[in-house]
Structure 1
Amino acid sequence: MGNEQFKAARKAEAGYHSNFYQNNELFASGTWMARPMPMVMDMLERLLTHKTELRVLDLGCGVGRHTIPIAQRLGQTNSEVIGVDLLDEAVDGLRKYAKEYQVDHIVQVEKADVEHYAIEPDHFDYIAACSCLEHVSNKEALVEVIERLQAGARIGGIHCITMSTSVEEKEVNTGREIKPLIELNLPTADAIALLEKAYADWNILHQEHVTQTIEEEKYHEPTQFRCELLRFAAQKQ
């Protein structure tokens, strides 16, 4: 993707998410953030069987779809949960919901671009990167981010990743196919191969991809977003 295309995709995605966060409450019924992804909470439970205090990083956290439930589950411990997002609406929303759900004592909020976010080595027990890695600029950047995430994980730490792959978009009213405006649109097979290679020395705990369809207000006309949602989790050995 060229630089101009990347800027256009970033602008479209930022506009869609900013409007969505402004117009929908966290955990609003009928929206994609009505509840956390089960895999995210399942992997958290896996870690909690061995350790009660965790350092958690939620990349591309939005307003807290996963950050808040993770913090609630960790409760009154000396755990820390860091939520990172690029959008003002997201970080402002997460701060608001952390107070509302009374978990602001363990939730930290940082504004940053995932592609360039610095991660302290050997620091985190759990890193969730849900629907954010497809918003880096290219495949090489994705590999670099994953390497940074891996360096930031402790032995026994878990990475939980979801990515939209093989993305297609069409206008709802006309059915006309349009070129997807997403920063990194990897074919599903390519994304799987990349993750399997990157995590060859880790214990892969979960891997699947499912078809997902969402109606969006991202352009001038309502569109349907269709993808193969890749779900992947691995543990550092």
Structure 2
Amino acid sequence: MGNKQFEAARKAEAGYHSNFYQNNELFASGTWMSRPMPMVMDMLERLLAHKEELRVLDLGCGVGRHTIPIAQRLAKTKSEVIGVDLLDEAVDGLRKYAKEYQVDHIVQAVKADVEHYAVEPNYFDYIAACSCLEHVSNKQAFMEAIDRLQAGTRTGGIHCITMSTNVEEKEINTGKEIEPLIELNLPTAEAIAMLEDAYEGWNILLQEHVTQTIEEEKYDEPTQFRCELLRFAVQKQ
């Protein structure tokens, strides 16, 4: 993807998410953020079976779909939950909901681009990167981001990754297929191969992909977003 295409994709994604956060409350029924992904909470419980206090990083956190439920689960411990997002609306929203759900004492909201976010070495026990790594600029940036996340993870720590792959978009009213505006649109098989290669030596806890379809207001015309949602969870040995 060239620079102009990347900027167009980044602008479209930012506009869609900013508008969505402004017009929908966290956990609103009928939206994609009505509840956390079960795998995110399942992997958290896997860690809590052996450790009471955790350092958690939620990349591409939005307004807290996962950050808030994780923080609620850890609220009575001396844990730390950091949510990172590029959008002001997301960071401001996370701070608002952390107060509303009374978890602001352990939640830190950080504005940063995932592609360039510096991760402290050997620091985190749990890193969730849900629907964010496909928003880096290219394959090299994708692999470099994973390298940083791995270096920032303690032994026994878990990474929980979801990615939209094989993305297709079409206009709902006309059925016309359009060129997807997403920064890194990997074929599912290639994304799996890259993750398996990057996480060689880690224990794979979950690997699956399912078809997902969402109606969006991202362009001038309402569109249908279709992808293979890749779910990948691994534990550092």
Bucket of the pairwise TM-score, normalised by the shorter protein: over 0.9
Q: Which residue of 1 aligns with 2:35?
A: 35
**TM-score between the two structures when normalised by the length of structure 2:** 1.00
Q: How does 1:179-194 map to 2 (within 5 A)?
A: 179-194=179-194
Q: Which residue of 2 aligns with 1:116?
A: 116
Q: Which residue of 2 aligns with 1:65?
A: 65
Distance (Å, rounded) in 2 between the aligned partners of 1:163 and 1:111: 21
Q: Which residue of 1 aligns with 2:100?
A: 100
Distance (Å, rounded) in 2 between the aligned partners of 1:209 and 1:77: 34
1:147 aligns with 2:156: no
Query: Following TM superposition, by how much is the alpha carbon of 1:190 offset from its aligned partner in structure 2, in angstroms?
Result: 0.3
Residues 162-188 of structure 1 show CA distances to partners (whole Å, capped at 9, x for unaligned) of 000000000000000000000000000
Give the secondary-structure state (helix, strand or coil) at the position aligned to 1:22: helix
**TM-score between the two structures when normalised by the length of structure 1:** 1.00
Distance (Å, rounded) in 2 between the aligned partners of 1:216 and 1:141: 27
Which sections of structure 2, spanning at least 5 residues, go unmatched? none
Q: Which residue of 2 aligns with 1:227?
A: 227
Q: Which residue of 2 aligns with 1:54?
A: 54
Residues 172-209 of structure 1 show CA distances to partners (whole Å, capped at 9, x for unaligned) of 00000000000000000000000000011100000000
Query: Following TM superposition, by how much is the alpha carbon of 1:35 offset from its aligned partner in structure 2, in angstroms?
Result: 0.1
Residues 118-168 of structure 1 show CA distances to partners (whole Å, capped at 9, x for unaligned) of 000000000000000000000010000000000000000000000000000
Paired positions, count:
237
Give the secondary-structure state (helix, strand or coil) at the position aligned to 1:20: helix
Distance (Å, rounded) in 2 between the aligned partners of 1:194 and 1:129: 16
Q: Which residue of 2 aligns with 1:3?
A: 3
Query: Following TM superposition, by how much is the alpha carbon of 1:218 offset from its aligned partner in structure 2, in angstroms?
Result: 0.1
1:200 aligns with 2:200: yes
Give the secondary-structure state (helix, strand or coil) at the position aligned to 2:52: coil
Query: Following TM superposition, by how much is the alpha carbon of 1:75 offset from its aligned partner in structure 2, in angstroms?
Result: 1.7
Distance (Å, rounded) in 2 between the aligned partners of 1:185 and 1:209: 15
Q: Which amino acid aligns with 2:120?
A: E
Q: Which amino acid aligns with 2:142?
A: L
Q: Which amino acid aligns with 1:154?
A: R
Give the secondary-structure state (helix, strand or coil) at the position aligned to 2:215: strand
Query: Following TM superposition, by how much is the alpha carbon of 1:76 offset from its aligned partner in structure 2, in angstroms?
Result: 1.3
Give the secondary-structure state (helix, strand or coil) at the position aligned to 2:13: helix
Residues 38-73 of structure 1 show CA distances to partners (whole Å, capped at 9, x for unaligned) of 000000000000000000000000000000000000
Q: Which amino acid aligns with 1:105?
A: H
Query: Following TM superposition, by how much is the alpha carbon of 1:219 offset from its aligned partner in structure 2, in angstroms?
Result: 0.1
Q: Which residue of 1 aligns with 2:76?
A: 76
Distance (Å, rounded) in 2 between the aligned partners of 1:177 and 1:4: 21
Q: Which amino acid aligns with 2:173?
A: N
- Cα RMSD, aligned residues only: 0.3
Distance (Å, rounded) in 2 between the aligned partners of 1:37 and 1:131: 11
Q: Which residue of 2 aligns with 1:44?
A: 44
Q: Which residue of 2 aligns with 1:135?
A: 135
